[in-house]
Every structure is written in structure tokens, then in C-alpha cells.
A and B are shown apart, each in its own frame.
Chain A
Amino acid sequence: MNSAGSDATAINAADGTVAGTIALDGQPEFVVSDGKGKIFVNITDKSQIVEVAGQTSSSTTTAAASATSPGIRLANGLFSSCEKRSHTTPLPGFSSLIAMAIWHGSSGSSPVDEDPRGPHPGTSGGYDVGDISSSIKRERI
């Protein structure tokens, strides 16, 4: 993710050529691949997770509105560490994928990307299942 360029570069690993550039609306911080042709990028200054898919075309879905999110992980679900409160919500259009944005309360301590069951001890943060911002955009790589 090109943090100063608000975009991402797709490189063909076999020959090192650039396959294309993906414009991102904001500053990308971290990226994970699902190993099935999709990547998920957290846009740290927009409180969004963007999904990018496809060889020739891509659709992006933004989800999990939150505070700044320093990192994401993809395991059995998508885990996003953020700085404020947490919520769990399905990514729009992906019933099998659960987005769990987990972040601390007002303590400002480092985020956790685990323990989706309750607030982290010592913080005032809680869980907020609502407060989801979603939109679907269509882009081309």
C-alpha cells in the first residue's frame, strides 16, 4: 500500500511487471489477502476497510466505520484493530465474513485484535453493533 500516494500497486509476482494501480480514497495502512483473489485494505484516515477484487475489475466495499485502524487481520473473520470502541458486523454482501473492529476506549493504549467478547480490561470502551458506514463502489484495476 502506497501510504503517501493514496493508492496501491498490483505487481505480477512472476515477472515483476506492474499489473495496475488501484486508487484508494484515503491513506492505506495495512493489507491482507484472502488467498482467493481479494485483498482487504484499511484506510486509516477514513475509518474504512476496502475490499479489492478481481483480475480485470474490482469492487470495493467499505465497512466497519470506526476510529483510525492501525491494523487488520484475516483469520476466520476480518479483524480490525481500532482506537475506540468495537463492533461486529457482517461485511455487506459477504454473509460468511464477519468484520470485527476491535479497539480500545479512551485510554489511548495499543489496540488489540483479539477477544471479540467484551471491552478490554481497563478501558471505558464498549461494543457498538451499529454505527456502520457502508457504500459500494466499482473500480477497475
Chain B
Amino acid sequence: MTHRSTGVTTVFSLGLLTVLLIGLPWAIPAIPGPSGYHLLKTIPVGGTEGWDYVTMDNAARRLYISRENHIVVVNVDSGAVVGKITGLSGTSGMLPVPDLGRGFAMSGGTSTAAIVDLKTVRKIGTVKTGKDPDSFAYDNVTKRVSS
């Protein structure tokens, strides 16, 4: 019992210390320094359509750019357009799931997501979503796409 009480006291003290340590910098407004980010290159994509989410498949070096009614697939090293996923309506973007070789391209206007084969960059199916799917995420544990 005594030991337990000591443990509780220690935890509380650490909590208080954390509050103090975290709280301290907040009293002094800090101006962030340079981020170190700088422009490496510009890849012209063309087209007149608007953009929404841009997603990246790091291993495949591919960038998926949403352009209203289609997704443009660009190789970030060569800058070349390597594919186009068409037939979408008001797309917010495509979620690549490289582990499964699939991507899910949102189609807000039809309240669907197009299932895309990442190798061929072609639609292989469609799944019905709720109304106007917008943002998306993949969870590796549940193997589920949230849209």
C-alpha cells in the first residue's frame, strides 16, 4: 500500500513536471526559423482542371493527382505522365494501397470509389460509398479504407 502510494505520487509529480516543461515555451511566443525546404524541381502537369488531394506511392515513385474528372499518375523522377484514371466525377483524390496493389479513387459526384489496379493503372471495380466521398485513409491493421 505504501509502495503504491509512492507510485501514484511519482506519476503525479512527473505529470506536473511535464505540464511545467510543456507550458514554459508557451509563455514565450516563438517565431519559427527557416524550414530548410526548398524547391528542387517543377513538374509541368498541364490541363485546366482544378486540383484536390495529391497522394504518393513512395516505393513506386508515383504521384496521384486529382483533376476533377480523372486522376493523373506522374512518375516523380522522370516527370512523365504514366497513366490516367478516367471516368470519375468530382474526384477528391486516390488512395494507393501498395501492399494490395490497389488504389481507391474517390468519385464524389457518383458517391462511389473506383478500385484501381496499381500496376496497370486501370479500373477493376467500383464500390458504393456514402454521399460525396472526400478525404480518405487506410489502416494497415484492419486493412480497411475509410472514405
Contact = CB atoms under 8 A, between A and B. Distances in A.
Interface stretch (B39-47, B75-83, B122-130): B122-130
Given A16-B125, A37-B142, A88-B22, A118 B29 contact: yes
A37 B141 CA distance: 5
A138 interface: no
A38 B140 CA distance: 10
A11 B130 contact: no
Contacts of A83: none
Given A2-B129, A2-B134, A117-B25, A11 B32 contact: no
A2 B133 contact: yes
Interface string A11-37: 111101111011000001111111111
A30 B140 contact: no
Nearest to A3: B134
A47 B12 CA distance: 30
A22 B137 CA distance: 14
A31 B147 CA distance: 8
Interface residues of A, number: 42
Contacts of A19: 144
Contacts of B22: 88
The CB with the most chain A CB atoms within 10 A, among B127, B133, B137, is that of: B137
Given A18-B127, A21-B130, A127-B26, A114 B147 contact: no
Contacts of A52: 146
B145 A31 contact: no
A43 B146 CA distance: 15
Contact of A5 (B25, B102, B130, B140): B130
A35 B138 CA distance: 8
A33 B144 CA distance: 10
A10 B146 CA distance: 5
The CB with the most chain B CB atoms within 10 A, among A4, A13, A14, A119, is that of: A13
Given A9-B130, A11-B104, A31 B136 contact: yes
6 A-B pairs with the lowest CB-CB distances in the bound complex, closest first: A2-B130, A118-B29, A5-B131, A4-B132, A5-B130, A37-B141
Given A8-B147, A13-B144, A36-B141, 12 more contacts: A2-B111, A3-B132, A3-B133, A9-B128, A11-B144, A21-B130, A28-B134, A33-B146, A117-B25, A118-B28, A119-B29, A121-B31
